[in-house]
Structure 1
Amino acid sequence: MTAALHAVWRDLLGSEDVAALDPGLPDGFGRRPDVLVIGGGIVGVTVAVACQQAGLGQVMVVEAATLGAGATGGAAGLLIPDVHQGSDPDWFVDLARKSLVLWRELEHRYGVGVIDLDWIALEPHPPEFWPPASAEALTAREVAAMVPGLARPSAGLRLPDQGRVNPLLALARLSTSIQGVATGVTVTGVITRRGRITEVATSAGSLMPGVVIFATGGAPALPGLDLDLPGRAIKGHLLVTEPAPLELPGALAPVATPLEDGRLLVGGTLDLSDPTPQVDAEVIASIQAGLRQFLPATADLAVTHAWCCFRPAHPDGLPVVDRVPGLSNAWVTSGHYRTGILMAPITGELLATWINHGLQPPEAVRLDSTRFGSR
């Protein structure tokens, strides 16, 4: 079997959800939205939903390609805030936990496909990780009973009540609730006057929004926009196998995460020195070899999908959620790195609250751009 060199997520969608990812230019394309969100990844679309729920008027999303065409479509879709304990600041992990709660609210309202699962981490753990109070210690014997096919059972931890989502399914379901979504529309520049964005130039003509939110993954670089945030895109590889002859009790780190049909999602590498857009066959082979080492029963499993994506990151690995310096009606969120799917709902809530009330939420203070000396 030859692996498809693209992410698995679109292939798991029905025709209606696939169509929702590329609505094109809608009839009656509004030129004066109250809120214009630039960027159709999971962060941009979730921010738009939050603004709409907050009653901020007509909300429009514009995306240059199709929804989820960037990092969103290549993400693993894991909603596991507790795994960031120790590696990220405590206050950020608290925000991530709040975001998981918001994901479950979105599931209840829109049916975005959140799947509850446990996260089971085998020893040795990364040195920076320290278990939260909710973690359950597991002996090697308990791990062996939970995962009978494990080659070398070791002690571990179980983190209950985590989650997972098909990022493109969530994107499709959320996008259909937004008043205006346009794909294939490229933003080419902005015009500012007296500390406000007054016009946004696009391939579909000019827009005159009340508020602009840039959610383009990395920091936006547009003519007329004076914004300089440090960052880079970090490559990573993932693969999905055909259905496995064993059942995992949850996301098993650092081994694999089970999908609904029994296939295994594996990988999430950090290929820091590889800027090329191609899938590296050697990296995929290494991921597959690691899977076989832990679970010998997977030795004959074919890889059905293998892909790479680029995660936008700021130097400290944390996102920016801030008002654009010098502009009273423009905000930016960028550099979500490993947490874009997880943090999308809380990012939307922070921005919608800020815009609605005119005051920076306390939780957003440590996510502003001043930490880079950019003002």
Structure 2
Amino acid sequence: MPHLAIVGGGVVGAAIAYELSHIPTLHLTLLEQHQPAQASTGAALGVLMGAISHKTKGRAWRMRETSLRCYDAWIPELERLTGKPLLYNRQGIVMLLSEGVDLANWDTLISNRQAQGWSLECWSRDQLRDRCPQVQDDTIMAAIYSPGDRQLDPTALTLALLDVAQQRGVDLKLETAVTAVDCAADGTAQVLHTTNGDLAVDGVVIAAGLGSTPLTAAIAQPVDIRPVLGQAMRVRLPAALGHPDFQPVLTGSDIHIVPLGDGDYWIGATVEFPDDAGEIQAHPTLLDQVLDGAIAFCPSLSQAQVIQTWSGLRPRPFNRPAPIVEPLPGAANVWLASGHYRNGVLLAPATAKAIAAWVQEFFGLEPT
């Protein structure tokens, strides 16, 4: 039975373990140097902007569409197998459009999505005020509603994926960092040296986010992935914004207002790049600006209590599109699933499907 190691216990690594755990003839070990759902996964807001994105063709759209359809199937199965409910907002996303936006571009997207089997609606200002009365920004001229897009809790999702993967026999090694890799002359990875001993492998999937760069360097050639910091916050109101029975994600000007239930909302997120020296740190004033923007959309948020703030580093490929989902050049049995930047949660299922197809072909396994 071939032994495949998955390095990385964020949402992407967990999704790959879950997808591959359907194959009974594959021995799987997932290694995570900390605890699951840390780093970029723990900082994500879980907003699945698929149909409402302007990606309409090629890999970028295929991955989004695949993931959206997967999640509608995965979430009920995960809830059934773990016995735990998962936050999964099926009420869609409302994109707020400011004055001056070219609605013709959105009309084109609406037509494209209709042809692809997805619904988008263009709301007038009056329609927006009727359906989302919490939006009281006079600069908002219209909105696009995407009922097929979703939002979920990335940490709870990751833990559920790993729970089910373990139920199916995946070995989970936490607090275990890969320190070196032994390769054959042709670049084939053979042994992973870890902080908890050596692991002989027949293949490796690198889903380690920012940790992917040193791992790829140890095997073949480094893949340059760099950090981009994001900050977000959780706020609390005495009651839900707008209509309690209609709580979509609100987004505009790269600001997300994400309902969590019981008057709680996530608000985020900043996008902060390293300075010229390569250093990166969270600037609280930038998070304040995001909150100010959210309050401009929904003035009632000025009464909210901030109960938590956090930040995390997103892995962004340097000088190439995100994500990197491909066989590692120079290594026959190593696959990359990293550098998802701001779309790790959104693209995790499609990434898992792609990796599973390569792994099955490489080892000659029956498809799941």
Please indicate the TM-score interval, normalised by the length of the shorter structure: 0.7 to 0.9
- The separation in 2 between residues aligned to 1:46 and 1:141, in whole angstroms, is 41
Cα gap change, 1:108 to 1:150, in 2 (>3 Å): closer
Say yes or no: does 1:186 pair with 2:174.
no
Say yes or no: does 1:350 pair with 2:354.
yes
Deviations along 1:251-291, one digit per CA (max 9) or x if unpaired, are 11125121122212111221124666654221222122112
How far off is 1:244 after superposition?
A: 5.4
Deviations along 1:86-133, one digit per CA (max 9) or x if unpaired, are 4x8543122211111111221122125433121111113877874433
Q: Gapped runs of 5+ residues in structure 1?
A: 1-31, 360-375
Structure 1 residue matching 2:345: 3-state secondary structure: helix
How far off is 1:184 after superposition?
A: 0.5
How far off is 1:42 after superposition?
A: 0.6
Residue 259 of structure 1 aligns to which amino acid in structure 2? L
- The separation in 1 between residues aligned to 2:15 and 2:344, in whole angstroms, is 11
- The separation in 2 between residues aligned to 1:187 and 1:273, in whole angstroms, is 26
How far off is 1:228 after superposition?
A: 2.0
Quote the residue 2:248 is aligned against. 250
How far off is 1:74 after superposition?
A: 0.5
Quote the residue 1:91 is aligned against. 59
Q: Gapped runs of 5+ residues in structure 2?
A: 80-85, 364-368
Structure 1 residue matching 2:134: 3-state secondary structure: coil
How far off is 1:170 after superposition?
A: 0.8
Equivalenced residues, count: 327
Q: What's the TM-score once normalised by structure 2's chain length? A: 0.82
- The separation in 1 between residues aligned to 2:28 and 2:89, in whole angstroms, is 28
- The separation in 2 between residues aligned to 1:320 and 1:292, in whole angstroms, is 36
How far off is 1:72 after superposition?
A: 0.5
Cα gap change, 1:276 to 1:291, in 2 (>3 Å): farther
1:119-268 correspondence runs (5 A): 119-124=93-98, 130-131=109-110, 132-133=113-114, 134-151=119-136, 152=138, 153-178=140-165, 179-195=170-186, 196-218=188-210, 219-222=212-215, 224-243=218-237, 245-248=239-242, 249-254=247-252, 256-268=257-269
Contact 2:235–2:305 (8 Å) recurs in 1:
yes
Residue 328 of structure 1 aligns to which amino acid in structure 2? A
Cα gap change, 1:317 to 1:264, in 2 (>3 Å): farther
RMSD of aligned Cα (Å): 2.3
Cα gap change, 1:126 to 1:270, in 2 (>3 Å): farther
Contact 1:243–1:262 (8 Å) recurs in 2:
yes
How far off is 1:176 after superposition?
A: 1.4
- The separation in 1 between residues aligned to 2:196 and 2:353, in whole angstroms, is 29
Deviations along 1:139-163, one digit per CA (max 9) or x if unpaired, are 1100011122322253111111211
Contact 1:107–1:113 (8 Å) recurs in 2:
no
Quote the residue 1:323 is aligned against. 327
Cα gap change, 1:84 to 1:90, in 2 (>3 Å): farther
Say yes or no: does 1:54 pair with 2:29.
no
Quote the residue 1:369 is aligned against. none
Contact 1:62–1:181 (8 Å) recurs in 2:
yes
Q: What's the TM-score once normalised by structure 1's chain length? A: 0.81
Cα gap change, 1:279 to 1:65, in 2 (>3 Å): same
Cα gap change, 1:83 to 1:311, in 2 (>3 Å): farther
Cα gap change, 1:83 to 1:237, in 2 (>3 Å): farther
Residue 154 of structure 2 aligns to which amino acid in structure 1? P
How far off is 1:73 after superposition?
A: 0.6
Residue 69 of structure 2 aligns to which amino acid in structure 1? V
Residue 220 of structure 1 aligns to which amino acid in structure 2? T
Structure 2 residue matching 1:265: 3-state secondary structure: strand
- The separation in 2 between residues aligned to 1:220 and 1:257, in whole angstroms, is 32
- The separation in 2 between residues aligned to 1:190 and 1:242, in whole angstroms, is 47
Deviations along 1:19-51, one digit per CA (max 9) or x if unpaired, are xxxxxxxxxxxxx97111011111011111111
Contact 2:28–2:171 (8 Å) recurs in 1:
yes
Say yes or no: does 1:295 pair with 2:295.
no
- The separation in 1 between residues aligned to 2:315 and 2:101, in whole angstroms, is 23
Cα gap change, 1:303 to 1:278, in 2 (>3 Å): farther
- The separation in 1 between residues aligned to 2:58 and 2:327, in whole angstroms, is 24
- The separation in 1 between residues aligned to 2:93 and 2:196, in whole angstroms, is 45
Contact 1:33–1:60 (8 Å) recurs in 2:
no
Structure with the higher strand share, 1 or 2: 2
- The separation in 2 between residues aligned to 1:278 and 1:126, in whole angstroms, is 33
Poorly superposed stretches of 4+, deviation over 4 Å? 125-131, 273-278
